[in-house]
Amino acid sequence: MARKNVMQVKEKKDRYQVAYIPGDDSGFDVMEAAMIVMQALNPPIDWVRADMGWCMWEKSCKEYPEGDPRRNTVPPETIEKVKNTDATLMAAITSKSGVKGFKSAILQLRQMFDLYINFRPAKLYPGISTPLKGDPNIDIVVFRENTEDLYSAVEWRPLPKEMFDLHPGMERFKDKEEVAVSWRVFSKEGCDRIIRAAFEYAKANGLTSVVSCNKANVIRATCGLMKERFLEIAKEYPEIEAREENADATAMWLLKNPENYQVIVTSNVFGDILSDEASQLIGGLGFSPSGNIGDNAAVFEPSHGSVPKYAHP
């Protein structure tokens, strides 16, 4: 039985406008194949091309000097196309570390359009091999908070001297040669809406359990907040079993007993890791889609990367 969507179409139309982003490297090849399929299916969609990613970063670096804000992976015209279409289909893009001024394109879209749900289903289909023994029933959906946590882009390298006085725990780092800090930012609103989305999805699809994964036993402030909100919101759904686990334990149990999981809700970083692990159980990242969903926009993408070494020359 097909499951109900996490995001319902707000306005029924005879035709929809969907932006498509070819991406980088093998993303071009995958999108080309996807468009062949779409032409055969002929859905009521008008496709609008947009571009972003490493290819646009290189283009903007040739056009604008260092430090110019127009040097970006996401050009203004792409932002307008995402804003003014009904949804966006994106191929894999390339993100390289250690490049001065470079900002991840997908992280920018997630924060710009408040795409707070990362919807990551992992379902084992007939005929697809799994590394697990036996014939496991794997049908898991990970709800990953998509705008906060360590991916909030609040970072310092090197850390300014005045920052060492913000917390007593920083005292032992004062004499270190180089210190870098990435803030792990959680908000009550951010926790509440991803947790409630997970429970609403479970309720709409007749599922019986939602598992929250955190490390509240160690990361007491941020994970503690998410744990508290999970247990509080769970009271609104008495018909659904609410389990709370340490994220590292979940990583183990996913391999041992994946059939015990239906819906997992977790923070940005833990969700990134656990959803990739779940994908490997059902054939790999190529079989696992990813939806970046907000209240007013949605961007759908593959879970795999752009794998430049496999790209068509």
Residue spans of the domains in the chain: they are 15-115+294-313, 116-149+184-289, 155-182
Beta strand ranges found along 138-183 (DSSP E): 139-145, 155-156, 181-182
Yes or no: say if 313 and 28 are a contact pair by the CB < 8 Å rule. no
Measured from the Cβ of residue 179, the count of other Cβ atoms closer than 10 Å reads 17
Q: Give, for all 313 residues of the chain, the pLDDT tens digit.
A: 556 666 666 678 899 999 999 988 888 889 999 999 999 999 999 999 999 998 988 899 999 998 888 899 999 999 999 999 999 999 998 888 888 888 888 999 999 999 999 999 999 998 888 888 777 789 999 999 999 999 988 899 999 999 999 899 999 999 999 999 999 999 999 999 999 999 999 999 999 999 999 999 999 999 999 999 999 999 999 999 999 999 999 999 999 999 999 999 999 999 999 999 999 999 998 888 999 999 999 999 998 888 777 666 6
CATH class label, 15-115+294-313? alpha beta
Q: What is the pTM of this model?
A: 0.91
CATH superfamily to which 116-149+184-289 belongs: Isopropylmalate Dehydrogenase (3.40.718.10)
Alpha helices in 122-260 (DSSP H): 188-204, 222-234, 247-256
Report pLDDT digits (tens) over 216-233.
Answer: 999 999 999 999 999 999
> To the nearest 10°, the Cα dihedral for 77, 82, 84, 87?
150
Yes or no: say if 121 and 10 are a contact pair by the CB < 8 Å rule. no
